[in-house]
Structure 1
Amino acid sequence: MNDPLIDPASTPEELAFEGALRPTTLTDFVGQPKVRGQLEVLLQAARMQERAPDHILLAGPPGLGKTTLAMIIGHETGRPIRFSSGPAIQHAGDLAAVLSALVPGEVLFVDEIHRMARSAEEMLYLAMEDFRIDIMVGKGAGAASIPLELAPFTLVGATTRSGMLPAPLRDRFGFTAHLEFYETADLERVLARSSRLMDLDLEAAALAELASRSRGTPRIANRLLRRVRDWLLVHAGSSDIDGVRAALELYDVDEAGLDRIDRAVLHAIAHRFGGGPVGLSTLAAAVGEEADTIESVVEPFLVREGLIGRTPRGRIATASGMRHARALAPDDTLDGV
């Protein structure tokens, strides 16, 4: 079962909520100063030369703003943006249909681009480089390749696993932006802006408390803010730090920012498997979660916080992680740690 606070598969309601909070310009985009500066130069140079910007790859963990940046790129260039995703492009024909429908200068955003079919990736090489694709007509000895010219476009790809992209595809992007987890101060600015848009008046200390538990991720920060808003509405609570703490306690987000799944993973490694090492599939079965959810959502945060580590033999709990696990569920077997 996925946790609604961190599950990357958003519901339509959550997508609408997040969409309402998205900034539309680089000026309004909070955090990622290096990436913002790089994109500003790239987009401004394209405007000055009256051409489509180079293809852009946005790489980083979920929830850091890749989709938002893609929408901003479309807005800043004044061009329409078309959305697609890697899992939806499973045949070369799927990609050909998308590319042939593009208008000059259009921005094509492909989320999870690392999950495209290999045949589609190979077609994309030529499209990105020469704005042309080859369509195969007929079969067998009578088959023929017909070139189809494409309108100049800008591909914006988003990936949480850039290492899974083939080198020929990575090399065809003119710019690769690596998004990093947010500092607490930047998350406070994100939450302050979102609070204003939601007509929610939270004290500075309450925003700081919320930011410190948001795992360095704006998407999670905004979802926790939504839960805090609901709690304050139902309980007529105070919008100070005590109200935020009460709301987060209800939703199982502790002082370190760990939620139910985080604690379950840490508890399993420390208590069930004696601190590890334990394989990913075994760990997933132990906590009742998908291995992909643990690997892409839970692990990056726990590793960054120094609570677990990855080794060739599997996942291990660090000394800090063992202490945290003991605090969560005291166990005599951990007394020597």
Structure 2
Amino acid sequence: MSDMEKTEFRLPEGIPAGGRGPESSVDATQQVADRDMEVNLRPKSLDEFIGQPKVRNQLDLVLSGARKRNVTPDHVLLSGPPGLGKTTMAMIIAQEMGSSLRMTSGPALERAGDLAAMLSNLMEGDVLFIDEIHRIARPAEEMLYMAMEDFRIDVIVGKGPGATSIPLEIAPFTLVGATTRSGMLTGPLRDRFGFTAQMEFYDTADLTRVVVRAARILGVGIDDDAAAEIASRSRGTPRIANRLLRRVRDYAEVHGDGHVTLAAAQAALVVFDVDEMGLDRLDRAVLSALIHGHGGGPVGVSTLAIAVGEEPSTVEEVCEPYLVRAGMVARTGRGRVATALAWQHLGLTPPPDAPGQHAV
């Protein structure tokens, strides 16, 4: 048996399909086990999904049109940074269409046979979700072309001159691909998706709604200003907002009555090394190495990684994207440079030649 994951998505007991109606209301006093946390915090329908209004409206048209024609929806490609809801959106697509969801990931599809085994087990209308689809092996990707277009695959039996190609019909399905690096997708694969959506970072207002909704599901009382404080430090990412809420809940239960106030939220985030800009210990270590160790740069990623004791890939993929988006680090041809905002964030006076000095 291959090592790929096959998961059929089903709603928790007591919640009807689509998540609509009075039966789907959440009891604020019910405590949710941590092992079921992610499943219970995920929205179950497009109406419940917070943020991404453009993607939601476009996807609603795609799914509504498919339901009216009684056909499987076009294949869907979801791209964007981690934690914005791509997996949740795939679950919602299956739920809205009343079908099963099969889940796997690109790295798990190392051979064409792995993909053939999964495709041959699909039922009509099923949704196949492939996370990190840009990392799928080339032989499996080439098999996927025919499956997406013609709902057919060719299975090779035997080796050498005696090998025989056997065509195998597969049930019509909808492929939902998710990628954090859309630029790494090959042209032929990208062109076979009927609908492509780019997930954007959330603003503080939408993230506050995410925090309030999650607190209600977790049975945590929270003040509006405390929810806004957590949202403002969540890097525009719902996954981070939910994680910070759980840690603030722990602090409020240990050091108080469990109700999350603004003071409790701020004190908890100090304990967990998340500052007012959403930077954690590693982010500040990178800025400190860049400014204190190299005068603000320019300096290469490998040098920064050695200074903070991390792998270059960690600095480049985990820290740098947010630091660049927050306007604290600038990427140049000679290396990374600390902006005036980075100097000020560390309580220092930026030099005259620091990027963004005049803007600040």
Is 1:56 aligned to residue 76 of structure 2?
yes
Which consecutive residues of structure 2, in runs of 5 or more, have no partner in the other structure? 1-32, 355-360
Q: Give the number of the structure with larger relative contact order, counting CA–CA contacts within 8 Å between residues 6 or more apart.
A: 1
Question: Residues 210 and 200 from structure 1, CA distance in 2 versus in 1: closer, same or farther, beyond 3 angstroms?
Answer: same
Q: Which residue of 1 aligns with 2:283?
A: 262
- Counterpart residue type for residue 279 of structure 1: G
* CA drift at 1:147: 1.4
**Percent identity (aligned):** 62
Q: Which residue of 2 aligns with 1:6?
A: none
Q: Which residue of 1 aligns with 2:213?
A: 193
**SS in structure 2 at match of 1:135:** strand
Is 1:174 aligned to residue 194 of structure 2?
yes
Is 1:305 aligned to residue 326 of structure 2?
yes
- Counterpart residue type for residue 48 of structure 2: D
Is 1:323 aligned to residue 340 of structure 2?
no
- Counterpart residue type for residue 148 of structure 1: L
1:155-175 CA-to-partner distances (Å, cap 9, x unmatched) read 001110000111111111111
1:169-199 CA-to-partner distances (Å, cap 9, x unmatched) read 1111111110000000000100110111111
Q: Which residue of 2 aligns with 1:33?
A: 53
* CA drift at 1:216: 0.4
Q: How many residues align?
A: 320
Is 1:212 aligned to residue 221 of structure 2?
no
Asked whether the equivalents of residues 61 and 296 of structure 1 are also in contact (C-alpha less than 8 Å), the reply is no
Asked whether the equivalents of residues 276 and 316 of structure 1 are also in contact (C-alpha less than 8 Å), the reply is yes
Aligned mates of 1:134, 1:45 — CA distance in 2? 31
Aligned mates of 2:179, 2:309 — CA distance in 1? 26
**SS in structure 1 at match of 2:64:** helix
* CA drift at 1:290: 3.4
1:14-70 CA-to-partner distances (Å, cap 9, x unmatched) read 773121111100000000000000010000000001111100011000000001101
Is 1:292 aligned to residue 290 of structure 2?
no
Question: Residues 323 and 26 from structure 1, CA distance in 2 versus in 1: closer, same or farther, beyond 3 angstroms?
Answer: same
1:43-82 equivalent positions in 2, closer than 5 A: 43-82=63-102
1:92 aligned residue (93, 112, 120): 112
Aligned mates of 1:225, 1:279 — CA distance in 2? 35
- Counterpart residue type for residue 208 of structure 1: A
Is 1:283 aligned to residue 317 of structure 2?
no
1:212-251 CA-to-partner distances (Å, cap 9, x unmatched) read 1111000000000000000011111662211100000000
TM-score by length of 2: 0.85
1:233 aligned residue (244, 253, 257): 253
2:141 aligned residue (107, 121, 133): 121
Alpha carbon RMSD of aligned pairs, Å?
Answer: 1.7
Aligned mates of 1:278, 1:56 — CA distance in 2? 40
Asked whether the equivalents of residues 87 and 115 of structure 1 are also in contact (C-alpha less than 8 Å), the reply is yes
